[in-house]
Amino acid sequence: MNNFSFQEFSRQSPKGIIINYGVLLYKLVKSFWVFIPILFSKNIESKMSYLFSVIGGLVLLLLIVAVVQFIYFKFKIEGDQFILNKGMVFKKKTAIPIERIQSVNFKQNIVHQLINVTQVEIQTAGAKDVEVSIKAVSRELAEALKKKLQNENEIEEEVEIEVKEDSARLIYSLSLLELFKVSFSENHLRSFFWILAITFSFGYQLEDIVNDWNFADEMIQFVVLNKEEITGSLLALFVLFVVGILISVVVSFVRVFLRHFDQKVVYKNDGIQVSEGLFTKREDILKIQKIQYAVQVTNPVKKAMGIGTVRIRQAGSGKVKKKKLVELVGVKEHFQKELNALFFSYEARPNALCFRPALYYLFKMFVRSAFFVALVNVVFYFNAFSLLEFIVLNLVLLPLSIYLVLLKYEKTYFTFQEGKLILGEGKISTVTTLIEYFKTQNVLLQQSIIQKKRGVATLKLQTASGVIKLPCLRLDEAHSIKNILIQEMEENKRDWI
């Protein structure tokens, strides 16, 4: 490994050209995909050869661009800075002080795996965020670079790395059975809406080309034709719903398997290392002190199976927020406690300072769900449902929405203890957010004009990894929470990153 000193400029692996090319082609397709249907329309056949030569020319041009990108992409370490030069026409020089580097992560999608290269992502945080991604290097070079960038970082902080180096130990690795459990207990409704959104946006685009493609359409047609045999449209709706949920379950499974396949969590140095993925393999390192906050998610099914999800958020700029989220799925209860102790030296105690949202919050949610129920009713009205069907529909919808609102109100609380804010929320699932609140960046107290009349206010804690919202507190409580937060932010001298 000592072959890599990084004193001189090095380039990526020549295989990087393939990756560059792939990315460029993907961008090309992505920016012109609206025009793809034109290729299949009838009156263009005469101009086909012309069109293909344009496309061919573009594709060839992109290959040249990929090579040029490769040639001008150079990086080295100079003193205490990581230096990256790229671009021929628009030259860009990036210099990152090594101490500002937050983490060095690896990523391999299926192309990377096929040609045996690794993508290295260097994440930093600060006012002017820099994200550097080296698209294709050999695994050895990647490891060496990571070691170089992170070791130098640690030497500065403390000198006991060697002791820590040995402390790598496996916390858990997700078996296939557990992966099934996780997928089964996901929030399928979320997948359902996800599909709905995709079918709608996609369906419209494809409608002209393939008319009878839409499964839902067939279903509706089937239902319409057999209306007398199926006792009513409500039943049809129910069938559609069941089919939708089934598809959603499949989608949940696919999503979980793609992302979390073979998830391994390892203690390492002063953090944990998470590796996962079926086609795209990711490896993330979470440094404990750099974690902004953690969110535990569980639901009755997960609880029964003894697993939960923990989402860990690291600091990042707004643009790449998603990447900074690491999701540990299938976390067992004892490890849950271990995690809390590890990250926040926290253990739940009953006698902490506790706040609840004002009754206005309940009122507001009731008004909202009343709007929703009314909207559903209007939609159904225009689809000519019978009176009986209306009654059945509302018999289901009304109690359900009231129950959900009450549940949500019941589950919302904000607890302060020893520098930590524990925030509970959720409806069917239970979501618990844990933050060492001195890491908050700024605090926003907000009142709509209605809230002002009711004497309530919403607090928003802006962190380096998104917003935490405390909705509809009584005004005096909101102010006292604000003061607790501000005082801790001012007095606590620990680094928030």
Partner 1 sequence: MENNSYKTMHPNLLKSMLVKRIGFVLVLAITGSLVYYFQTKIQFSLLGLSLFYSGIFLLALALVFLAKAYFRRKKFKIAEKNISYQEGILYQKETLVPFARIQHIEIDEGPLERFFSIATLSIYTAGDSGRDLKISGLELMKAQEIKSFISNYIKDE
Q: 213 by DSSP, 3-state: which?
A: coil
* Residue 126 or 426 having the CB closest to partner 1: 126
If one asks whether residue 464 binds partner 1 (CB under 8 A), the answer comes out as yes
**What is the radius of gyration, based on Cα positions, of the chain?**
27
- What is the pattern of x (binds partner 1, CB under 8 A) and - over residues 300-339? ---------------x--x--x------------------
What residues contact 101, with CB distance under 8 A and at least 6 apart? Answer: 82, 122, 123, 124, 149, 150, 153
Select the residue interacting with partner 1 from 105, 330, 463, 470 (CB under 8 A): 463
| Burial of 263 (C-beta count, 10 Å sphere; 0-12/13-18/19+) | buried
Q: How far apart are CB 307 and partner 1 at their closest, in Å?
A: 31
Of 147 and 452, nearer to partner 1 (C-beta) is: 452
> Minimum Å distance from CB 464 to partner 1?
4
Q: Is 494 in the site for partner 1 (CB under 8 A)?
A: no
Report d(CA 269, CA 40) in Å as an integer.
Answer: 56
Q: Which position among 22, 232, 419, 466 is part of the footprint of partner 1 (CB under 8 A)?
A: 466
Q: Which is nearer to partner 1, 98 or 461 (CB)?
A: 461
- Regarding 462 and contact with partner 1 (CB under 8 A), the answer is yes
Burial of 240 (0-12, 13-18, 19+ CB in 10 A): middle
- Nearest approach in angstroms of CB 441 to partner 1 is 4
Rule CB under 8 A: say whether 449 interacts with partner 1: yes
Least distance (Å) between residue 497 CB and partner 1:
7
Structure tokens at 351: 């006698």
In the shown chain, the binding pattern of residues 70 to 109 toward partner 1, with x for contact by CB under 8 A and - for none, equals ----------------------------------------
| Residue from the set 85, 113, 199, 447 that interacts with partner 1 by CB under 8 A | 447
Whether 308 and 302 have beta carbons less than 8 Å apart is answered as: yes
Measured from the CB atom, the residue of 5 and 483 that comes closer to partner 1 is 483
Query: Considering only residues 64, 218, 442, 476, which one is a binding residue for partner 1 as defined by CB under 8 A?
Result: 442
Going by C-beta distance under 8 Å and a sequence separation of 6 or more, which residues neighbour residue 60?
A: none
Figure out which of the listed residues 125, 179, 182, 422 binds partner 1, where binding follows CB under 8 A: 125
Name which of 391 and 467 has its Cβ closer to partner 1. Answer: 467
Among 164, 264, 460, 469, indicate the residue that binds partner 1 (CB under 8 A): 460
> Does residue 486 interact with partner 1 by CB under 8 A?
yes
Name the β-bridge partners of 415: 354, 422
Which window, 46-54, 148-156, 170-178, 487-495, contacts partner 1 (CB under 8 A)? 487-495
Residues paired with residue 286 on neighbouring β-strands, in sequence order:
272
- Give the shortest CB-445-to-partner 1 separation in angstroms: 4
The token pair that represents 318 in the structure block: 């707004």
Q: How far is CA 474 from the centre of its chain?
A: 32
SS3 string, 80-147, reads CEEEEEECCCCCEEEEEEHHHEEEEEEEECHHHHHCCCEEEEEEECCCCCCEEEEEEECHHHHHHHHH
Report the SS3 class of residue 319: helix
Tokens of 148: 């170089």
Q: Which residues here bind partner 1, judged by CB under 8 A? A: 125-127, 315, 318, 321, 440-449, 452, 460, 462-464, 466-467, 482, 486, 489-490, 493, 496-497
